Amino acid sequence: MKSKQSLWYIVLIASAAGMAGFLYGFDTAVISGAITFLQDLYDLSPAMEGIIISSVMVGGVIGVGISGFLSDRMGRKKILMVSGIIFAVSALWSALAGSVLSLILARFLGGLGIGFASALSVTYIAECAPPAIRGRLGSMYQLFTIIGISGTFYINLAVANSGTYQWGLETGWRWMLGYGVIPGILFFLLLIFIPESPRFLVKNKKTEEALHTLQRINGRETAQKELNSIQASIEMETSTSIRELLRPGLRKAMLLGIFLALFNQVIGMNAVTYYGPTIFRGIGFENNTEFLATSLIGTVQVIFTIVAILLIDKAGRKKLMAVGSSLMALFMVLIGSVFYFNIDGIWALIFIMGFTAAFCISMGPIPWIMIPEIFPNYLRAKAVGIATMFLWAANGAIGQFTPMLINNAGGAFTFWMFAAICFICFIFVMTIVPETKNRTLEEIETIWKPDKRYINY
């Protein structure tokens, strides 16, 4: 970085793009409060409860699946702006929904918008950020996700305390969902002030505009070197077909991206996020203390996501994921033991807070950072979209099947299952994942060349 001005500029544009995480976090958390009232209002079965929650993920899978193709044609910025509008419309529709079907359709539309944003936000940040602080800036998406989750937990708590249970049943849940209009519009307005991705601009022959953006980010001398590197990388490739991801080397990158995406979801954090109040109510929390307990989890998420931002470019991606996944496995064993031995529910809260802290320094933010890092310029948007499709599909499975698992197999089995998945994640990180800190995107790209696909971890 050449100046304080350039530092503030890149933080500004990374924050604006990272605001997409707030949309994801809001939607993830708000339904955990609303579903409590929806269960009684519509006498929902565990399966229908799962459908309402997972409908947003179905839209998300479609959104991320087409986001790469749309952004390669229209640009990262334009599609991100569209996603903000879609999210705001979805929130308003959800608040006014008069039936379960209408609510499901509204949440599906919201998932489409979040799907666009989730893949392109991290792609955009990776393409703009200087290597030395790319990890911290890439963490902006996860930080805003956690702020969205935590803030929404407190919104749910405030709405639940604003009237009687009957008021919440008739009106309160609508306010919870309707507040999503605000971040959707704010996200759209913030994006007006950010530039297009310089790598997208170079790819589309807008070299002068790309150089101007790079100069504001890196300073004049570094910007020219970065521009030359981007041009050389793009000129070496003649095909942008998705079949390129099946080539030796790139095939390994694609599999790595998919597994990172899956482990971000299937280790169990979203089971707590979506069903926190329900879980806490099942182990003895009552009189809205279940909402308070869930809000405390959100606070822990914010604190330890900030810790991750401070550590990620120093400790590295691989080390943090290894430490975090091993701790998550331990805490999931302890959470399951609370259910199995019928221990006081306060211990479950303590262990879930420990699990959350471990998640937020490792498998929470880091997959979102590494997935766009590992793919070459000419295929990044499409590849990130594919990996994020798997993330959303896994997210949908967690949303759909968690209430059925807890209801039919019990809390102990459910959380011990997550413990086993966390242990598998640890093995995966130790044996497969490379370290990418302090490397330019073009340097990372060389890892997957067929003649250089074996590296020292």
Q: Which of 210, 138, 129, 31 is nearest to 370 (CA)?
A: 138
Among residues 185, 162, 189, which one has the least CA distance to residue 174? Answer: 162
The reported pLDDT for the residue numbered 425 is 95
State what percent of residues in the chain have pLDDT above 70: 95
Q: What's the pLDDT band for 455 if we cut at 50, 70, 90?
A: very low
Q: How confident is the model over 104-162, as pLDDT tens digits?
A: 999 999 999 998 888 788 888 888 888 778 778 877 887 898 898 888 888 988 998 89
Delimit the domains of the chain by residue range: 4-194+237-452
Reported as a single tens digit per residue, the pLDDT across 369-411 is 888 888 887 777 788 888 888 888 888 788 778 878 888 888 8
What sign for the dihedral angle of Cα 124, 130, 131, 137?
negative
Asked if residue 238 has pLDDT above 60, the reply is: no
Burial class from Cβ neighbours inside 10 Å (0-12, 13-18, 19+) for residue 350 reads: middle
Please say whether the beta carbons of 213 and 194 come within 8 A: no
> Residue 250 in contact with residue 379, Cβ under 8 Å?
yes
Residue 430 confidence class, pLDDT cut points 50, 70, 90: very high
Task: Kindly state the tokens that stand for 137.
Answer: 């800036």
Superfamily (CATH H level) for 4-194+237-452: MFS general substrate transporter like domains (1.20.1250.20)
